[in-house]
Amino acid sequence: MQVIDHLGRSFSSLRVSLLNTCNLSCSYCVSDNEQKKNSTNALSWQNLCSIIEKLEKNLNISTIRLTGGEPTIYKNIIPVIKYLKTNSKAQIKITTNGYLLKNVLENLDNNFPDAINISLDTLQEKTFYSLSKKKNIQKVLDAIEYALDCQIKIKINTVVIKNTNDTEINDLLVWAGKRNIPIRFLELMRMGHFFQNNKFESSFISQQEIISKISNQFNIKELGRLKNATSHDWETQEGYKFGVIANESVPFCNDCNRLRLDSYGNIYGCLSSNLPIDITKIADHFTLKKHLLEALSHKKETKFEGSELSMLKIGG
């Protein structure tokens, strides 16, 4: 039984949310009063890895991306990375806020992930604090330099918020470009507390606005969007590579290949459909494929329509 839908989409990128807690409180992810509940009955890391292996046996998984909440505060992050690097054929990648990344990399005995996406929404300590309710942005900047020294492939993710960090777009582009790091500017997503209130419109900056800000200072060449990719890419005359992930204004559902697994053993076929499917008790291939087809049917046809789920719960 092939797990493929009428648009020819199938699952080849698995995003695993290891936990639903984080050490930062980014305003575009969690609301001020949103309590960060610990994952009380989350699966053990061994059980989570055996579900990952089960999915790998039934799907052609090329990438496993570890997310959260924040994966670097997951107490078993080291054994999970080492286990997957040893036992999985897929590329092992992480999406992190970078705050505790250096500690994790120092304890991996060179079993480094194949690639890391690091969130960096500002270069300013003051803005870092107002956005994330945490001090000491230098920890993130040092982790990026350390990952570069370890020769790990990294990309920067910047969520652009109107009247918060939109004036820093070109500074961040130069900062990343000078270190030869591709940077992606993310449109704000209608998720969690931005799904249920009207603050979204007043905070949203579109791909078009981002490109116009960059074109004011740089000559740019369009590179397009790779198949299954989320970012639409460009390059400046100086060779700085950047992209925009435009969930809202230039959606990319038509060739979406992402399957999400949370820390309780639920799969989600689409970020925009809060429809978890519990696969913890499934033993046979046939039943698993039936559930995977169901998850695939939850995918949007054309565009992300928002979700009450926050990134804290399901990761990017």
Query: Contact 208/160 with Cβ under 8 angstroms?
Result: no
Instruction: Establish whether the linkage from the previous residue to 69 is cis, with ω within 30° of 0.
Output: yes
| CA separation, residue 99 to residues 70, 141, 150 (Å) | 10, 9, 17
Instruction: Give the interface segment with ligand SF4, choosing from 82-90, 95-103, 127-135, 297-305 (CB under 6 A).
Output: 297-305
Q: How is residue 194 annotated by DSSP?
A: G
Structure tokens that stand for 100 in this block? 């505790």
- Per CB under 6 A, 104 contacts ligand SF4: no
CB of 230 to ligand SF4, least distance (A): 7
Choice between 77 and 253, CB closer to ligand SF4: 253
176's enclosing H/E stretch is helix 169-178
What is the separation, in whole angstroms, between the first and last Cα of the chain? 29
Choice between 104 and 159, CB closer to ligand SF4: 159
**CA–CA separation, 16 vs 74, rounded Å?**
12
Which candidate, 137, 111, 81, places its Cα nearest to that of 145? 137
CB of 312 to ligand SF4, least distance (A): 17
- Per CB under 6 A, 253 contacts ligand SF4: yes
**Binding pattern for the stretch 144-173 against ligand SF4, x by CB under 6 A and - elsewhere:** ------------------------------
Instruction: Give the interface segment with ligand SF4, choosing from 50-58, 84-92, 98-106, 251-259 (CB under 6 A).
Output: 251-259
Which candidate, 136, 54, 147, 58, places its Cα nearest to that of 94? 147
Choice between 218 and 304, CB closer to ligand SF4: 304
The single residue among 144, 270, 279, 295 that binds ligand SF4, judged by CB under 6 A, is: 270
CB of 100 to ligand SF4, least distance (A): 27
Instruction: Give the interface segment with ligand SF4, choosing from 69-77, 90-98, 266-274, 287-295 (CB under 6 A).
Output: 266-274
Count of residues touching ligand SF4 (by CB under 6 A)? 10
Helical packing angle, 45-58 and 285-297, nearest 10°: 90
- Per CB under 6 A, 271 contacts ligand SF4: yes
CB of 7 to ligand SF4, least distance (A): 10
The single residue among 15, 241, 299, 313 that binds ligand SF4, judged by CB under 6 A, is: 299
- Per CB under 6 A, 63 contacts ligand SF4: no
**CA–CA separation, 223 vs 91, rounded Å?**
24
Which residues, in sequence order, are CB contacts of 223 under 8 Å at separation 6+? 233, 234, 235, 241
- Per CB under 6 A, 128 contacts ligand SF4: no
CB of 200 to ligand SF4, least distance (A): 16
Choice between 256 and 309, CB closer to ligand SF4: 256
- Per CB under 6 A, 258 contacts ligand SF4: yes
| CA separation, residue 278 to residues 43, 66, 230, 270 (Å) | 12, 19, 26, 15
Q: Which residues bind ligand SF4 (CB under 6 A)?
A: 252-253, 256, 258, 270-272, 299-300, 304
